Amino acid sequence: MVTIRDVAKEAGVSVATVSRVINGSGYAHIDTKKAVDLAVSKLQYKPNEVARSLYKRKSKLIGLILPDITNPFFPELSRGVEDYLQRRGYRLIIGNSDGKQEKEREYINTFSQNNIIGIIASTSEYNDRNYKDLNMPVVLLDRTTEDLPAVYADQHAGGELAAAALMERGSKEIVIVRGPITIKPVRERYQSALELLQNTEGVNVQVLDSTLSFQGAKSCAKELFDKYPKTDGVIACNDIVASAILQEGLRLGRLIPEDLQIIGYDDIPMCALLYPALSTIRQPAYEMGEVAAESLIKMINKEPLTEQHIKLDVAFIDRQTTRKGM
């Protein structure tokens, strides 16, 4: 390993001088600067970030906590975060929490121990206190809390958009497949959809519970058609579950969207490749990641945040599982 000493020796100056020209701090004669630069490139010197981090008590590392990268909503999110940070020289330590307090806490601890300078967390609810007194910047992603900055999508609008789309297109017997209500954004989208539906004359609403994962989706779909065979409209908690319902509906010979309309949530890339292509509520996952990263960097640089809570728009993506020409 080549250290600053080697460079100093090679350039015939002191380590202090090398440090100065490398960091562009303090003065340095143009010639010594050249000599140092030469030595640096000759020896291929790269500063040891660990030593830097130790001295400055801060690194270029940022922690990202996700529930589960295996859920297709999160890869886009995380790339949004990474791409933004990568361009600015930061690196990402990633942790999948599976929504578990303990795992989250474990990650947070090792994050601190590594002098991480900030955390972006898509945490499950009630784990907030993990982050409260952490003496480093935290941005919540796809989640909100009173006290912490957050970036999230408009779940309220999302739920209403889904409900409205279905009703406008004539569904009368609607089932909301509700995800785990312990997850705030999932709960909110559900509540908004339910409220709008319940306040509408001539619409009959049922609620069915489901997970968000591939594993649970199939059985949920079966249960849906079993319990509510007359259903002519489904609002799913995410696109995975919607896909399973679409599959099962097709299997049972339902005409989609003529007999049964389906709306998913998230707009994962796969939606566009289903047949019929899945109508859904789009969350701007990649952008959410970027914006969260941007906010975090601002906080790290002590720049003021114009808004503590940044709510991004969702949109109804009108594909083939909802009817046309109203």
Q: Which residues bind DNA (CB under 7 A)?
A: 1, 3-5, 12-17, 19-20, 22-23, 25-29, 31-33, 45, 47-48, 51-52, 54-57
Could you tell me the smallest distance in angstroms from the CB atom of residue 84 to DNA?
24
Query: Of the candidates 233, 217, 150, which has an alpha carbon nearest to the alpha carbon of residue 184?
Result: 150
Closer Cβ to a copy of itself, 81 or 166, answer by number = 81
Name the binder of 93 from a copy of itself, DNA, none, CB < 5-8 A by kind. a copy of itself
Binding-site partner at residue 96 among a copy of itself, DNA, none, CB < 5 to 8 Å by type: a copy of itself
Q: Quick one: CA dihedral 193, 157, 287, 147, positive or negative?
A: negative
Nearer to a copy of itself, 112 or 204 (CB): 112
Report, in Å, the least distance between residue 321 CB and a copy of itself.
12
Q: CA quadruple 271, 277, 281, 283: dihedral positive or negative? A: positive
Share of the chain residues as helix, strand and coil, in percent rounded to the nearest 5: 45, 15, 40
Tokens of 126: 């009630």
- We find the least distance from the C-beta atom of residue 18 to DNA, in angstroms, to be 7
Phi/psi at 174 (nearest 5 deg)?
A: -110, 135
CA 86 vs CA 91, 116, 190, 217: distances in Å = 6, 15, 35, 35
If the CB atoms of residues 16 and 252 are measured against DNA, the closer one turns out to be: 16
Taking CB within 5 to 8 Å according to partner kind, which of DNA, a copy of itself, none is near residue 92? a copy of itself
Q: How far is the CB of 107 from DNA (least distance, A)?
A: 19
Q: How far apart (Å, rounded) are the C-alpha atoms in residues 121 and 108?
A: 10
List interacting residues with a copy of itself (CB under 8 A): 1, 46-51, 53-54, 57, 59-61, 68-70, 72, 74-76, 78-79, 82-83, 86, 91-96, 103, 107, 109-110, 112-115, 214, 217-218, 240, 243-244, 246-247, 250-251, 269-270, 272-275, 277
Which ranges constitute the DSSP H helices of the chain? 4-11, 15-23, 30-43, 49-56, 73-87, 101-113, 129-132, 155-168, 184-198, 214-227, 239-251, 285-300
